[in-house]
Structure 1
């Protein structure tokens, strides 16, 4: 079977990491299929929400250490990236680093469904998502330091934005393992749910977003992320432009009418 599965049902796309025998550690095929899946999500307006999850006992163990040691798989591409530092840098840029860059282009909600282990680059893939829903038994760690490498996929960018610089450095320097509740306390995950409720909770959350006013949802996501790079005046100018657009849409009329008549809105 493919190392990554991609399916769409009822406007919800699911990206499933599918190397359970390796705790869903990355392979070259997985990364290339992941990039292709995200391009489809970006370009297909019928897709409204994305769920990222893993098969088997873990969400994702990140880089495949055995392959790294052997110079195989993702760590030995057609360009023989084991040969020079520059080749390894270029391989990161052309492959795994495309994932956060593509996610930055996607205005639709992206949800990480975390169970088992989320380690190193596997955890970073969850940090790139908008919402992180973790099973109570999940374990999370920035494990790069164990093999004396750095977070080459963007973890050093995302982690401090979520937990602060000091906590990010602590996680990256010590590789200490966090429980799901500890991760929630520092803002690393959004929700913690019972293991047997993880799939149902995530799906229900995704369906609620998929049935909401799509333009407003996407505008809100873009406004939140863009505002992190703007001063107050620019952010207010940006959001006022969005308000001018959404108040002319049928979704706005439907929402107002539903509130007035105390009924559930139905968005197209």
Structure 2
């Protein structure tokens, strides 16, 4: 089966010879559905095994990257502990498969970039953000521990002090600020994001593949060294999905009010 058939939820297509695009495209600012979350846990290993893929570009449709996990996914996880265990496995698959993949990945981040969508946006090897993009890890606002990817990567990207401030407070940052603190690789004007991300993916596609892939793998040892911290954070996140705080977090977001945590 082709990428297009196997991973339809991610809208894969070859936008150039050797360059595979994955596109978030859906309702509620490209929110990540249960199907998309599962596909993000498997697609990287198939990309790794596909000789036709030499680089990957990630982007979102309609002016936004992704608003993160959908309310449907969160509410199912709240009610179903078996589904929470499945989400934990998929979360580990996404993070570790991206780290282990040797193929270079470029993300183009515009508009909202939150939660599960932000995971792949920032774990990409090169991240290109729009000046007005709005990046936020919203876990603690929802009432659960930050566990998708941030513990393994944010302290390396922007330093422990900034990581703690942003993750504990859920303070959003613009693309411009994200570049300033080192959370993303580049910041460009909003209308230039997609073209710049694709140009970088094309450049990597034409580069010396062994040199690029070995360099990526060597650098990713920094992530592997923090794998125990990630495992704890991901488990803590799933634990939180069974508490009263997350029910209040979801209710407050739906009702557009400040949460009243216990």
TM-score (norm 2): 0.76
Deviation track 1:56-95 (CA, whole Å, cap 9, x = no partner) reads 23101112135524x3xxx4xxxxx7233xx354222322
Alignment CA distance shift 1:169-1:136 (3 Å): same
Select 1:52's aligned residue among 32, 55, 58: 58
Instruction: Output the CA distance in 2 between the equivalents of 1:228 and 1:145.
Output: 23
Deviation track 1:9-63 (CA, whole Å, cap 9, x = no partner) reads 31011111121x2111111111223234322211012211111111123101112
Select 2:71's aligned residue among 65, 90, 108: 65
Partner in structure 2 of residue 27 of structure 1? 33
Instruction: Output the CA distance in 2 between the equivalents of 1:131 and 1:192.
Output: 11
Deviation track 1:118-160 (CA, whole Å, cap 9, x = no partner) reads 1133222212111110111211111112111122322221111
Partner in structure 2 of residue 98 of structure 1? 93
Q: Is the 8 A contact 2:127 2:184 kept in 1?
A: yes
Question: Which structure carries more helix by proportion?
Answer: 2
Q: Is the 8 A contact 1:92 1:153 kept in 2?
A: no
Q: Which of structures 1 and 2 has the larger relative contact order (alpha carbons within 8 angstroms, sep 6+)?
A: 2
Partner in structure 1 of residue 155 of structure 2? 160
Deviation track 1:167-218 (CA, whole Å, cap 9, x = no partner) reads 1110011111111111111100111111121121111111111111111111
Rg: which structure is higher? 1
Q: Is residue 13 of structure 1 aligned with residue 20 of structure 2?
A: yes
Residue 31 of structure 2 aligns to a residue in which SS? coil
* Runs of 4+, deviation exceeding 6 Å: 227-230
Residue 203 of structure 2 aligns to a residue in which SS? helix
Residue 216 of structure 2 aligns to a residue in which SS? helix
Instruction: Output the CA distance in 2 between the equivalents of 1:120 and 1:28.
Output: 14
Residue 111 of structure 1 aligns to a residue in which SS? strand
Gaps of 5+ in 1: 76-80, 231-268
Gaps of 5+ in 2: 226-262
Number of residue equivalences: 218
Instruction: Output the CA distance in 2 between the equivalents of 1:115 and 1:83.
Output: 33
Select 1:83's aligned residue among 80, 84, 87: 80
Alignment CA distance shift 1:161-1:227 (3 Å): closer
Instruction: Output the CA distance in 1 between the equivalents of 2:156 and 2:184.
Output: 13
Residue 50 of structure 1 aligns to a residue in which SS? strand
TM-score (norm 1): 0.75
